Each structure stands twice: as structure tokens, then as C-alpha cells.
């Protein structure tokens, strides 16, 4: 097996792999999007909303904001609280979401949430949890595609949504595959 890096930056990771088959290439692609865990705001408590938008609409928009996910020190049992308390006139952006956690925050501070008119107020709390992308698209750290070249060579293109670096997403996907195979092997040995 031979791996060659074609591009590597925080958002994009492109690489080619020679010596694998379509089954393994697809497993890497699918596990990158569905098995890698990352933070997303999963529940919202609205205390005050005098805007023109429904609570559910605002909750959906906030839930889709990418949340940075450190590579170590957090698990699926952790909950990170975010608060938002703003008064119009103002365009509310993701940067207005505040948290006390120094490692976890919004990945992109320039995502618009809502425009508030003069005197309108939005006050809420949001709880971020860590889950795999298979639970909901908001937990997916990015997208991965591959193209089959000649001689059993596959060229992968990975794009991160901001929760983690693109290369880290691939590494975490490979670790997730390894962990699932190890668990399966343990269960099969019991038979």
C-alpha cells in the first residue's frame, strides 16, 4: 500500500492510496462522515424570543453551526453549554454564542442566525453534545469523496466543515473502523 499526500491544510486534505479496493475506499469515505464524533448543539432552551421567527427555526439554525471538537479530552458524555443574549437592532451571528469552555466554541464566527429589529430580544441556552454523523448531519465533520484512478489507486478529497482539521477527520475515521473491527472480532471469538 502506498499513500501520497496531494494537499493538506486545515480545511482540505487530498491524498491518493494505491493498493486498496473499492470496499475499503468506501468504508473510509462512509466512516469519515458517519462514524467520526464531533460536537453540535443538540438542544435549546429559549427564555425569551420577541423576534419574528419561531423558536424551532432559530434552534435549527443554531444546531447546524459547526462546533470545534478537540481531538482529545472529550467524550460522548460531555455537555458544553452555550448562551446567547442579544437585543436588536442587530444581526445576530454565531460569534454571539458564548461558552465558558476554552477548547470548544463555534468553528466559524460569521454565520448569521437572525436579524433583530429595534427592541427585539433573543435569550437562550444551547447544549452541545458529541455524537457521530450517523445520528444527524449536524454531527458530521465534513464530506469525503474518492475517485478510482488506474492500477487500484484511489484519490480522496476531504473537506472539513470546521469542527476538526480534514486530515484529523480521516485519521479518526480509520480509528473508528479499527475499533469496530476489533469489537466484531471479539464477539466472533465468543461464538
Per-chain mean pLDDT for the chain:
97
Identify which of 123, 114, 45 has the alpha carbon closest to the alpha carbon of residue 85.
123
pLDDT in tens, 154-173: 999 999 999 999 999 999 99
Q: How far is Cα 104 from Cα 68, in angstroms, rounded to an integer?
A: 5
Q: How confident is the model at residue 151 (pLDDT cuts 50, 70, 90)?
A: confident
pLDDT at 46: 98
Find the length of the chain: 191
Domain total of the chain: 2
Domain of residue 110, residue span: 38-135
Secondary-structure breakdown of the chain: helix, strand, coil percentages, each rounded to the nearest 5: 30, 40, 35
Measured distance CA(109)–CA(85) in Å, rounded: 16
Examine the domain organization and report whether 53 and 121 are in the same domain.
Answer: yes
**63 and 96 share one domain:** yes
In this prediction, residue 94 has a pLDDT band, given cuts at 50, 70 and 90, of very high
Question: 116 forms bridges with which residues in the sheet?
Answer: 90
pLDDT for 105 beyond 90: yes
CATH of the domain at 91: 2.170.120.12
State the pLDDT confidence band at 150, using cuts at 50, 70 and 90. Answer: confident
Any idea what the CATH number is for the domain that residue 165 is in?
A: 3.30.1360.10
Residue 29 backbone phi and psi in degrees, to 5: -60, -50
- Beta pairing class for 37-49 and 90-93: unpaired
Amino acid at each position: 500500500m502506498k499513500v501520497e499526500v496531494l494537499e493538506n491544510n486545515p480545511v482540505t486534505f487530498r491524498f491518493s492510496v494505491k493498493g486498496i479496493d473499492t470496499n475499503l475506499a468506501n468504508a473510509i469515505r462512509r466512516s469519515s462522515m458517519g462514524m467520526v464524533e464531533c460536537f453540535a448543539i443538540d438542544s435549546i432552551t429559549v427564555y425569551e424570543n420577541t423576534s419574528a421567527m419561531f423558536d424551532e427555526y432559530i434552534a435549527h439554525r443554531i444546531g447546524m453551526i459547526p462546533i470545534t471538537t478537540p481531538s482529545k479530552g472529550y467524550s460522548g458524555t460531555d455537555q458544553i453549554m452555550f448562551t446567547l443574549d442579544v437585543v436588536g437592532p442587530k444581526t445576530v451571528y454565531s460569534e454571539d454564542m458564548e461558552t465558558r469552555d476554552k477548547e470548544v466554541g463555534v468553528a466559524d464566527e460569521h454565520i448569521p442566525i437572525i436579524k433583530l429589529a429595534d427592541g427585539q430580544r433573543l435569550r437562550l441556552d444551547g447544549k452541545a453534545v458529541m455524537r457521530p454523523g450517523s445520528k444527524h448531519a449536524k454531527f458530521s465533520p465534513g464530506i469525503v469523496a474518492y475517485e478510482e484512478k488506474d492500477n487500484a489507486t484511489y484519490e480522496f478529497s476531504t473537506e472539513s466543515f470546521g469542527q476538526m482539521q480534514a486530515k484529523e477527520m480521516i485519521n479518526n475515521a480509520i480509528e473508528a473502523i479499527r475499533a469496530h473491527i476489533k469489537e466484531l472480532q471479539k464477539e466472533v471469538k465468543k461464538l
